[in-house]
C-alpha cells in the first residue's frame, strides 16, 4: 500500500497546479475534488448519500456547501486500493 502521505502530496500538488483553492487545513471544494478524481460532482453526491466516498465537511469553501480534506481523501483512496 502506498503511504497516504505520498498520495496527499500528489493530490495537493495536482490541485495547486490546476489553480484550485486549497485551504490552510488542506480542504478543496466538491467540484475541485471531483475534477481531481475524475468523477462528476453528481457522482460524489451520490456516493455521499449512499454512505460511501471520502469523508466530507458540511463547511463549505469558495461558495460551495461541501468540502473535502485532501489527507482524508488520500486515506480513502489507499483503503480502497485493490
Quick check: helix, strand or coil at residue 21? coil
Beta strands at 67-69 and 27-29: parallel, antiparallel or unpaired? antiparallel
**Domain range spanning residue 68?**
4-79
21: left (phi over 0), alpha (psi -120 to 50) or beta: beta
Give tens-digit pLDDT for 10-47. 999 999 999 999 999 999 999 999 999 999 999 999 99
| CATH number, domain with residue 24 | 1.10.10
Q: What pTM does this model have?
A: 0.89
Give tens-digit pLDDT for 38-51. 999 999 999 999 99
Give pLDDT, residue 23.
Answer: 94
Give pLDDT, residue 2.
Answer: 72
Rounded Cα gap, residues 47 and 16, in angstroms: 25
56 alpha-carbon distance from chain centroid: 8
Rounded Cα gap, residues 1 and 61, in angstroms: 31
Report the number of distinct structural domains present in the chain: 1
Amino acid at each position: 500500500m502506498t503511504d497516504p502521505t505520498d498520495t496527499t502530496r500528489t493530490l495537493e500538488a495536482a490541485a495547486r497546479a490546476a489553480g484550485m483553492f486549497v485551504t490552510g487545513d488542506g480542504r478543496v471544494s466538491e467540484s475541485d475534488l471531483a475534477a481531481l478524481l475524475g468523477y462528476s460532482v453528481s457522482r460524489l453526491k451520490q456516493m455521499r448519500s449512499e454512505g460511501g466516498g471520502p469523508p466530507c465537511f458540511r463547511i463549505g469553501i469558495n461558495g460551495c456547501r461541501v468540502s473535502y480534506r485532501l489527507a482524508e481523501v488520500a486515506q480513502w483512496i489507499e483503503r480502497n486500493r485493490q
